[in-house]
A and B are shown apart, each in its own frame.
Chain A
Amino acid sequence: MSHATHRDYAGAKLGMWLFLFTEMLLFGGLFILYAVYLHRYPAEFAAAGHRLDLVLGTANTVILLTSSLLAALAVTAVQRDEGRVAFRALGGTILCAGLFLGIKYAEWSAKISHGIYPGSPDLAAGPPGESVFFGLYYLTTGLHGLHVLIGGVLLTVVARRVKGGRVHAGDYIWLENGALYWHLVDLVWIFIFPLYYLML
């Protein structure tokens, strides 16, 4: 079969971009719900937003932005054929992914121990807008966290390929597409952070 010799970088990138569109639309469904319910419960959303931990949210934002920078640096390094640098940069990205998930875990545990979780009696006792806010919060950050996890695994695969020399200056589509995916994960968080943590 001639597939092994067939290489189409532009095609592979186009395919990745199309896939990223579908990911954006997946989150888009939740953002639509957010918009509608914000319109319906502006005061409750603001009150509920204040109950989220701004420090942890900000820390996670900084961590994800740094990780995206490291992913971009890895691509540049591979283009210059500096595989070792690229591998370290990717390692940094993966470390950030782990940190992010760790902080998220701490945040969720704290909230859940305070009785704030979907379907909890505490939320049921409060105003309906707040319950909707936290329902969306858990679903959106949960789906995002899942994407962080998938992105981390994907980048680990890519890092192995960089180390093994299968990703190099002449063929780095794996790294480039992996980094694109990671940027999307970062980008989605950039929307989640202000909508949930920085509510007025």
Chain B
Amino acid sequence: MNRSERTGSAAGFWSDTEKGGIGAWLLSTDHKRIGLLYFWSVFGFFLVGVVLGLILRLELMAPGRTIMGPDAYNAFFTVHGVVMIFLFIIPGIPGAFGNMLMPIQIGARDVAFPRLNLLSWWLYATGAGVILLSLVTGGGPPDTGWTFYLPFSGRTATNVSLAVFGVFIVGFSSILTGINFVTTIHRLRAEGMIWGRLPLFVWSLYATAWVQILATPILGITLVLIIAERILGVGLFDPSRGGDPLMYQHLFWIYSHPAVYIMVLPAMGVVSEIIPVFARKPIFGYKMIAFSSLAIAAAGSLVWGHHMFTSGMSDTAVLVFSFLSFIVAIPSAIKVFNWISTLYRGSISLDPPMLFALSFILLFSIGGLTGLILGAAATDVHVHDTHFVVGHFHYVMFGGAGFAFFAAMHYWLPKFYGRMYARRPAVIAWGLMFVGFNILYFTMKVLGMKGMPRRYYDYLPEFATLNLVSTIGSWILALGLAVMLVNLFRGLWKGEPVTEANPWGGATLEWTIPTPPPTENFAEEPVVTHGPYDFRGAGIP
């Protein structure tokens, strides 16, 4: 980045450093720089995942072999899942935007443990490197699916151990970020930043951090057990040696279901920030939105069994997990209702961040409501492991967390880069992505209802038309992504300079400091006197 080109004297944290060169970034303990490191690395992996996804869709465009064989297909969908889940969507919003914004939003100069924060990024980078290494060494890329289900993952000759070890390292990074965020939010809030005045993004990160702390260790031990199984042949999950594969699924989903909330809670936080700003209204039901984040984190930790309805659990367990799964819908619905109520009679301006936030509500709702079909044991048996499930989780994760990630990019990146992207291409990109997305994934839901299984390389001729439609949708989506990417790149490098502190008219603390933010965030420690959505800037909500 050409620093002299930045906005004159107000170059902020971009130029204010003793060390020069690449080391000023890779060894920086400044939370804003670490946030940007995270941003570009997770975004890079997102693009890798997108390309893999496009190739998968291309293979499924027509029945039979299209561009690759079945073994390659298995490896492609596994790597697509591992990259998207562990390298993009879990660390995405907390690592990138959480790091960039959370300390500023609570009026702190940095996180509680800045060096630990840097270590988190390095662990992420190392784990990602190990995962990439597993693709080209040993027996080739893993072909187990991102869930690494035993007993297959214990037997396959592909490079599962190394990939799993990479995920283990990335998990450690996630734990450290969680510890750092909880400590920061407890200890470093500015004077007057009481819990009732925390921005909702911070609340959502707080709930997320607890899930990261409490769930990730279980993934850690599960991954260690896979490696032990492969190297030592312990047989803890092998029925022929007294083990039980169902126990693997329990341990895996005890983490991996709550992990869904690591992905989507920060996304909800982003949406809660954007909607009131672009509706020019204080958020409706602040306390309930904050509370529902914690409720989702808590209830979401009790529902892992709904991934195992057809695995051979007892009927009692199926009923209990089905019931608990429905409970998560309540706090999620509270959030949706409150966003809609905030919009009601608001003075809405449809700027790019708002478009992404609004589409989040729609796509997340579709994903969530189809989740109820999967959460109900009876209907789940019908659509279990079909493309319906694939459609469902892409609506929640890509339509939800992914679109919120794009919303956050359009909302906050100009603050950090001091330059604005062009509005018109941003809106066009959004439109293409929204349309392409629905063609791509809604078709999958229909396919699943009709009985097309997931993870299958080939399918019956009757599914051909819908698969073609879905693949065409993926191209529209990819075109939209490309437009967005080019526009964003252009904007951040050469766009119109933004010097005013508050281009969108937000009321949270990050909009009170210069653009781009100075290294220490605040010239002097701020004293907070009003809530984060009090746009008149006076009084206490």
* Inter-chain contact A128/B242, CB cutoff 8 Å: yes
27 contacts between A and B (CB under 8 A): A1-B519, A8-B187, A11-B186, A11-B187, A19-B175, A19-B179, A22-B214, A22-B216, A25-B214, A29-B217, A29-B220, A29-B251, A32-B250, A36-B247, A37-B244, A40-B244, A118-B234, A128-B241, A128-B242, A128-B243, A129-B242, A132-B235, A135-B234, A135-B236, A138-B232, A139-B228, A143-B224
Task: With CB as the reference atom, state the residue of chain A lying closest to B233.
Answer: A119
Interface residues of chain A, those whose CB is within 8 Å of chain B, are: 1-3, 6, 8, 10-12, 14-15, 18-19, 21-30, 32-33, 36-37, 40-41, 118-119, 124, 127-129, 131-132, 135-136, 138-139, 143
* Inter-chain contact B217/A136, CB cutoff 8 Å: no
Complex interface bits, B167-189 against A, C-beta within 8 A gives 1, otherwise 0: 00000000100111011001110
Task: With CB as the reference atom, state the residue of chain A lying closest to B209.
Answer: A18
Interface residues of chain B, those whose CB is within 8 Å of chain A, are: 29, 109-110, 112-114, 116, 175, 178-180, 182-183, 186-188, 213-214, 216-218, 220-222, 224-225, 228, 232-236, 240-244, 247, 250-251, 519-520
- Select B251's contact among A1, A2, A32, A135, beta carbons within 8 Å: A32
- Select A25's contact among B116, B218, B235, beta carbons within 8 Å: B218
* Inter-chain contact A29/B221, CB cutoff 8 Å: yes
Task: With CB as the reference atom, state the residue of chain B lying closest to A117.
Answer: B232
* Inter-chain contact A3/B114, CB cutoff 8 Å: yes
Among A11, A33, A40, the one with the most B-chain Cβ atoms within 10 Å of its Cβ is A33
- Select B179's contact among A10, A18, A37, beta carbons within 8 Å: A18
CB distance from A47 to the nearest CB of B (A): 13
CB distance from B38 to the nearest CB of A (A): 19
Cα distance A2–B235 in the bound complex, in angstroms: 53
Cα distance A138–B222 in the bound complex, in angstroms: 15
* Inter-chain contact B241/A33, CB cutoff 8 Å: no
* Inter-chain contact A29/B218, CB cutoff 8 Å: yes
Label chain B's interface by main secondary structure: helix
- Select A118's contact among B116, B216, B228, B520, beta carbons within 8 Å: B228
* Inter-chain contact B224/A118, CB cutoff 8 Å: no
Cα distance A32–B244 in the bound complex, in angstroms: 13
Task: With CB as the reference atom, state the residue of chain B lying closest to A18.
Answer: B179
Cα distance A124–B241 in the bound complex, in angstroms: 7
* Inter-chain contact B218/A28, CB cutoff 8 Å: yes
- Select A22's contact among B113, B175, B186, B233, beta carbons within 8 Å: B175
- Across the interface, which residues of B come within 8 angstroms of A131, CB to CB? 235, 241-242
* Inter-chain contact A118/B232, CB cutoff 8 Å: yes
Label chain A's interface by main secondary structure: helix
* Inter-chain contact B180/A15, CB cutoff 8 Å: yes
With contacts A22-B216, A128-B241 taken as known, whether A11 is within 8 angstroms of B112 at the C-beta atoms is: yes
* Inter-chain contact B114/A11, CB cutoff 8 Å: no
Cα distance A153–B182 in the bound complex, in angstroms: 27
- Across the interface, which residues of A come within 8 angstroms of B236, CB to CB? 33, 37, 132, 135-136, 139
A3-B114, A21-B214, A138-B234 are known; give 14 further A-B pairs, CB within 8 A.
Answer: A3-B110, A14-B187, A18-B178, A18-B213, A25-B217, A25-B218, A29-B220, A29-B221, A40-B244, A118-B234, A124-B241, A136-B236, A138-B232, A139-B228
CB distance from A18 to the nearest CB of B (A): 5
* Inter-chain contact A132/B242, CB cutoff 8 Å: yes
Cα distance A19–B520 in the bound complex, in angstroms: 27
Cα distance A19–B214 in the bound complex, in angstroms: 10
Among B188, B220, B221, the one with the most A-chain Cβ atoms within 10 Å of its Cβ is B221
With contacts A26-B221, A132-B242, A139-B225 taken as known, whether A18 is within 8 angstroms of B182 at the C-beta atoms is: yes
Cα distance A37–B234 in the bound complex, in angstroms: 14
- Across the interface, which residues of B come within 8 angstroms of A37, CB to CB? 236, 242, 244
* Inter-chain contact A132/B243, CB cutoff 8 Å: yes
* Inter-chain contact B234/A139, CB cutoff 8 Å: yes
* Inter-chain contact B183/A11, CB cutoff 8 Å: yes
CB distance from B214 to the nearest CB of A (A): 7
- Select B183's contact among A1, A15, A128, A136, beta carbons within 8 Å: A15
Q: What 4 A-B pairs are tightest by C-beta distance, nearest first?
A: A128-B242, A29-B221, A119-B233, A25-B217
Cα distance A128–B188 in the bound complex, in angstroms: 53
- Across the interface, which residues of A come within 8 angstroms of B235, CB to CB? 118-119, 131-132, 135
Task: With CB as the reference atom, state the residue of chain B lying closest to A127.
Answer: B242
Task: With CB as the reference atom, state the residue of chain B lying closest to A124.
Answer: B241
- Select A2's contact among B109, B187, B218, beta carbons within 8 Å: B109
